[in-house]
A and B are shown apart, each in its own frame.
Chain A
Amino acid sequence: MEKQISNFIRALRSADVRVSTGEALDAARTLAMIGYDDRSLMKDSLGCVLAKSESEKSVHDRLFDLYFSSAPTSASASGAASESDASSDEAPADAAERLSALTEAGNEQALASAVERAAEAAGLNDIRFSTQVAYFAQSMLRAMGGEALQARLLEALQGRTPDADAEAQRLIDVRRALTKATRERAERGFEIFGAAETERFRDDVAATKRLSAIEASDMARMKHLVAKVAKKLAVKHSRRRKRTQRGMLDVRRTMRANAGFDGVPFNVVWRQKKKDRPKILVICDVSGSVAAYVRFLLLLLFSMKEAIPDLSAFAFSYRLKCVDDILETYEFDAAIKKILREIGLGSTSYGQAFSDFKMDHENKIDRRTTIIILGDGRSNYGDPRLDLFRDFAGRAKRIIWLNPEGRALWGTGDSVIPCYEPFCAQMSHVATLKDLERAVDEVLTAYD
């Protein structure tokens, strides 16, 4: 049973539930306390000990049902074990006979434990991908003595008597039943040990895929991923906003705190430095080529409201407009559609956008503002209005420019990126969700 528990813990770990060694020991102690008889009690107790959040608990409950539905009771497992020792050196014909006996009606328990042993022998716990199911089913069948069965079947097929035909038919049925049993077991093994791994692999692929190439079918996965990234960043950056500078005495507050002790400084108060709260302005180019990226940047930033209390977004292609209202009123997908429809028309002009910004929103820039600009810097040969841009750069904390175009293309054709570059604290190429994550992390780190 210990082995079963440690395997179960392995399954949990592969599904991203972090179980420490200490918790594994607790699980063993728990089972020693409550015994193995009551399944639902076991489930409740292990859920208490091993899963440490609501989502982990639901993963645990699902895996528990999958895992322990297959585990044979300990009594029959030990019985089966002794049986398997005996079977190791029996003649092939006996092995085939034994297998066919297993598939007869009323022998389900024996079949189940034989399949279980075969799963062990074939190393089913190492299954990772759904494509491996057939392979593992095959090796399980082999471990059960499938080859002997196959040999008997061939023999029977070569005989031409009616008896031999009947025997062949019987053996074919046996083989079919065994194949079905092993395949089902292999599929369940994949569910327990491999499904989470596959999910993670797909997530990794999606996170490193070019954002403009994300297909509609992957949208749900991307949303989930963005939410995960947002949570990670929010946890990382929503630390305390004060930092004690040790060694610098705050004389005024120390005197105040110790007034009750006649000015004798029992409690010493150190000076604290307040950290700025992040304030972020996003200016997005929503012309065709950049639109796919705008969607993910805004999704990411707006999922982090708790870490970025002061956030506003502007969109432009020819004229610039504040889109906070739209994002707050409509559900996210609808909001993006509306923004693209309302603003995404006309030929892109960075100069016009910056002068609009100067006219209507200049007062929103102060020394703790980070301006994030998302765009390819292709301004249709218009005036880039560098004078305004220099002015913004001087007043803001910093300007970060995210460019979906590869570095090799900067400055080619109507791209005016190189003119803006000297005023930006950072100008980087973003193509994937990972890049976006890094960029936003960078922005927030500046406030820590």
Chain B
Amino acid sequence: MAKDKKTGYEPLTSIEAISAGLGTAGYISTTQISTAVFLAHGLRKPILIEGPAGVGKTDLAASLAKWMSLPLIRLQCYEGLDEGKALYEWKYGKQLLYTQILKEKLSELLGDAKTLAASLDKLSGFEDLFFSPQFLEARPLLTAMQQSKGSVLLIDEIDKSDEAFEAFLLEVLSDYQVSVPEIGTIRADVPPLVILTSNNVRELGDALKRRCLHLHIGFPDHAREQRIVRARVEGISDTLLNQLVRFVQSVREADIKKRPSIAETVDWARTLLLLHTSTLDEAFVRDTLNVLLKHESDIAAIAPAIPKMVREATGPDARGRLASGYPDVG
């Protein structure tokens, strides 16, 4: 199969292949996620991922890069981020140093010029020297354009940046090119796969949204969460895994400030494993709840319901299977 030079990411040929590939990098995908990646590649559009913190938005980019062995280039957004930090900067210090060092060389070269106009002519022949790629400090966006084999460009928490920066991104994201006035336009040979994430701190502009595919990653369902935890935490027993995930899922339904996300479930699973817990019980849950819930008021809100939730998590589920793995005697 001839590799398309413009959009050449060979493994991204079908949705199943993407799901399987992400799986090898330890990312448990859903059809929605894989479809979005597939379309992003096919339509050459960035993906804008929204969703609560800790559901694997950033991780998707990392896993994509890992699976396809591409460099992951990450741009973390914050208030006040500007072109100089995102795109490129001239190495002023180096330019200055070089002019100082080359001062004598320069005067030597200019020595035979008689008039001011003649020396100016000569000098203008050299000026490009100091505004050449050698003195260009590439920042993430430019770096991503320069990768010859393509790359995964992660623009993290775009909602934290200013509106002006968002507008500036439009050129980069629609044409995959950046212009440096002194050098010219730098165009990506292979456009990077761009992933933007947002936690909805502020509403993003319509212009940016229109240039992206939109993907919302929510909390996972029971089966997917089990698979994720199993992939992330080695040596966890089926019984504990099942009980743990059921407990977390029921905590998520409660009315609390910050609902635990996958990252917290994984942390909690690791905690329980460290403590050599084999099944959930009330005392353990009470002691380790602070791993799962990050607000004092949330812990207080959940505490009275713990016995009931533990009972439900360890009891038979809707299909009549026992979470403990043993027949129910009582």
Contacts and interface: CB of A to CB of B under 8 A. Distances in A.
Contact of A44 (B32, B50, B163, B210): B32
Interface of B: 15, 31-32, 35-36, 39, 42-43, 45, 48, 50, 92-93, 96, 162-163, 202-203, 206, 209-210, 212-216
Interface stretch (A26-34, A197-205, A336-344, A367-375): A26-34
Contacts of B203: 235
A54 B39 contact: no
A48 B215 contact: yes
A260 interface: yes
A266 interface: yes
Contacts of B39: 30, 33, 45, 48-49
A246 interface: no
B96 A261 contact: yes
Contact of A54 (B15, B50, B212): B50
Interface in A134-148: none
A40 B34 CA distance: 13
A119 B53 CA distance: 46
28 contacts: A20-B210, A26-B43, A26-B45, A29-B42, A29-B43, A30-B42, A33-B42, A33-B43, A41-B15, A44-B31, A44-B32, A44-B36, A48-B35, A48-B36, A48-B39, A48-B213, A48-B214, A49-B39, A49-B43, A51-B214, A52-B212, A52-B214, A235-B202, A235-B203, A240-B162, A261-B92, A261-B93, A264-B96
Interface centre among B50, B206, B210 (most CB of A within 10 A): B210
B248 to A, nearest CB: 22
A52 B96 CA distance: 47
Contacts of B215: 48
A56 B206 CA distance: 13
A238 B201 CA distance: 11
Contacts of A264: 96
Interface string A198-235: 00000000000000000000000000000000000001
A53 B32 CA distance: 15
Interface residues of A, number: 30
Interface centre among B35, B48, B162, B212 (most CB of A within 10 A): B35
Contacts of A52: 48, 206, 209-210, 212, 214
A18 B214 CA distance: 13
B263 to A, nearest CB: 20
B35 A44 contact: yes
Nearest to A22: B210
A261 B97 CA distance: 10
Interface string A36-69: 0000110011011101111011000000000000
A405 to B, nearest CB: 37
A239 interface: yes
A18 B96 contact: no
Interface string A118-162: 000000000000000000000000000000000000000000000
B216 A41 contact: no
A435 interface: no
Interface string A229-269: 00000010011100000000000000000001110101000
Contact of A30 (B43, B48, B50, B209): B43
A307 B163 CA distance: 16
Contacts of B48: 52
B110 to A, nearest CB: 21
B326 to A, nearest CB: 38
A441 interface: no
Contact of A238 (B92, B96, B202): B202
B47 to A, nearest CB: 8
A26 B47 CA distance: 14
Nearest to B96: A261
B93 A53 contact: no
A23 interface: yes
A266 B163 contact: no
